[in-house]
């Protein structure tokens, strides 16, 4: 008991130290952000970014993808105080905290992000300036290309395309880049329609049905989800298996429908049946029988589904009639997304 009490006291002390460090970081950030905002305004003025992005829907061939990518890296680098020679897409280890019970949200893997950004950039050539002012910032937020300041990068891009004069833009940008910027300026947060896109993809393409109140029901082959209690019973001597199960567990905690769909679609029927507990739930213990190739197939299929999520976010704007509010079929997800952003910014 004394040992447990001692460990608890140590945990509490570490938490207090971490809270103090977080407080000091936030106070330091509050002091630095106004200066960074002025540096960003100077950079945007120097590059003529405001004039370009005001006309991005009409002047379609002025900027190449490489120039657009470089612009985002420079903008984010200034917002994050990253030296010029170190500015890159460095968001490979980024994980997000969702709004529901603080769950972890995983963006697409890093090696897929640039191709998806290119898809968004190419698609922008077919859209109006108004649509681009929501689509491009939303994709930047969805991908989380950078380790930090993805939201500030997204908000800056949105304001570049929506503010009608330069003076208004600079005033709004100063608010957007401040500590409370995500609350004081439009937050083009794709999380507002991520669930609706997931429902569309899983029901239209991957064998899921809808239950009561439009919620996702079972996959046609899934009788249940995972035997959670078995995570504590896995064979710790098999290092490769342990690493795969832990990766599976982490994904399943934030993205259960996509990872379970990946299991169903990547494994043969015989192999899938062999990892079920009581012919019903997926058994982490029985997953020890999966080969390295089968594990790789599960994770590759999962990453394909994550790419598909971003591709569909772009399609919400390029093919709006295909994606509709499930509770009001008269409203497209495009219109629903824009409406929600405006409602949250009132």
The helix (H) or strand (E) run that includes residue 333 is helix 333-344
Overall residue count recorded for the chain in this entry: 346
Q: How many CB atoms lie within 10 A of CB 171?
A: 13
Measuring CA to CA, which residue among 292, 294, 230, 285 is closest to residue 262? 294
Mean per-residue pLDDT for 259-265?
92
pLDDT at 311 over 50: yes
Mean per-residue pLDDT for 316-330?
95
Measuring CA to CA, which residue among 72, 71, 91, 74 is closest to residue 82? 74
Please give the Cα distance from 168 to 153 (Å, whole number). 18
pLDDT above 70 covers a percentage of the chain that reads 80
- Tokens found for residue 16: 């207090």
Please give the Cα distance from 35 to 52 (Å, whole number). 24
**Quick one: pLDDT at residue 267?**
94
**Quick one: pLDDT at residue 87?**
80
pTM metric for this prediction: 0.84
Q: Which of 216-220, 291-295, 342-346 has the highest mean pLDDT?
A: 291-295
The residues, ordered by sequence, that sit 6+ positions from 117 with a Cβ below 8 Å of its Cβ are: 69, 139, 140, 143, 145
Instruction: Label residue 102 by pLDDT band (50, 70, 90).
Output: very low
**Burial letters for 215-238: b for 16+ Cβ neighbours within 10 Å, e otherwise?**
ebeebeebeebbbeebeeebeeee
pLDDT digits (tens, 9 = 90+) for 180-226: 666 678 899 999 999 999 999 999 999 887 766 555 665 555 656 88
Mean per-residue pLDDT for 138-143?
96
pLDDT digits (tens, 9 = 90+) for 15-73: 556 555 555 555 565 667 788 888 888 888 888 888 878 766 555 567 889 989 999 99
Task: Share the mean pLDDT of the chain.
Answer: 84
**Could you write out the DSSP letters of every residue in 214-262?**
G-EEEETT-S--B-GGGGGGS-TT-HHHHHHHHHHHHHHHH-HHHHHHH
Q: Confirm if 274 and 286 have CB atoms less than 8 A apart.
A: yes
Q: Confirm if 112 and 105 have CB atoms less than 8 A apart.
A: no
pLDDT above 90 covers a percentage of the chain that reads 50
Domain ranges for the chain, please list them.
Answer: 2-186, 192-340
pLDDT digits (tens, 9 = 90+) for 87-97: 888 767 777 66
Instruction: Label residue 158 by pLDDT band (50, 70, 90).
Output: very high
């Amino acid at each position: 008991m004394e040992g447990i009490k001692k460990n608890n006291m140590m945990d509490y002390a570490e938490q207090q130290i971490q809270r103090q460090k977080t407080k000091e970081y936030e106070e330091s950030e509050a002091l630095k952000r106004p200066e960074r905002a002025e540096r960003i305004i100077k950079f945007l003025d120097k590059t003529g970014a405001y004039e370009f992005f005001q006309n991005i829907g009409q002047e379609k061939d002025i900027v190449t993808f490489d120039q657009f990518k470089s612009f985002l890296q420079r903008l984010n680098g200034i917002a994050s105080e990253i030296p010029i020679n170190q500015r890159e897409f460095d968001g490979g280890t980024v994980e997000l905290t969702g709004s529901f019970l603080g769950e972890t949200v995983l963006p697409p893997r890093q090696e897929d992000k640039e191709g998806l950004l290119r898809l968004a950039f190419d698609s922008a050539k077919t859209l109006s300036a108004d649509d681009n002012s929501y689509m491009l910032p939303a994709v930047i937020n969805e991908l989380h290309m950078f380790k930090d300041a993805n939201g500030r990068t997204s908000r800056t891009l949105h304001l570049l395309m929506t503010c009608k004069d330069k003076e208004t833009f600079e005033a709004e940008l100063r608010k957007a880049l401040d500590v409370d910027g995500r609350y004081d300026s439009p937050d083009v947060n794709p999380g507002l329609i991520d669930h609706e896109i997931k429902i569309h993809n899983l029901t239209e393409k991957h064998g899921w049905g809808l239950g009561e109140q439009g919620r996702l029901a079972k996959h046609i082959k899934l009788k249940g989800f995972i035997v959670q209690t078995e995570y504590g019973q896995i064979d710790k001597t098999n290092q490769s298996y342990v690493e795969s199960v832990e990766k599976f567990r982490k994904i399943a905690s934030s993205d259960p429908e996509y990872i379970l769909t990946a299991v169903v679609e990547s494994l043969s029927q015989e192999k899938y049946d062999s990892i079920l507990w009581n012919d019903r739930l997926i058994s982490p213990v029985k997953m020890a029988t999966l080969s390295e190739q089968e594990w790789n197939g599960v994770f590759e299929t999962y990453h394909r589904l994550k790419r598909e999520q971003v591709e569909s976010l772009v399609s919400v704007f390029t093919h709006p009639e295909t994606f509709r509010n499930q509770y009001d079929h008269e409203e497209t997800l495009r219109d629903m997304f824009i409406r929600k952003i405006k409602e949250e910014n009132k």
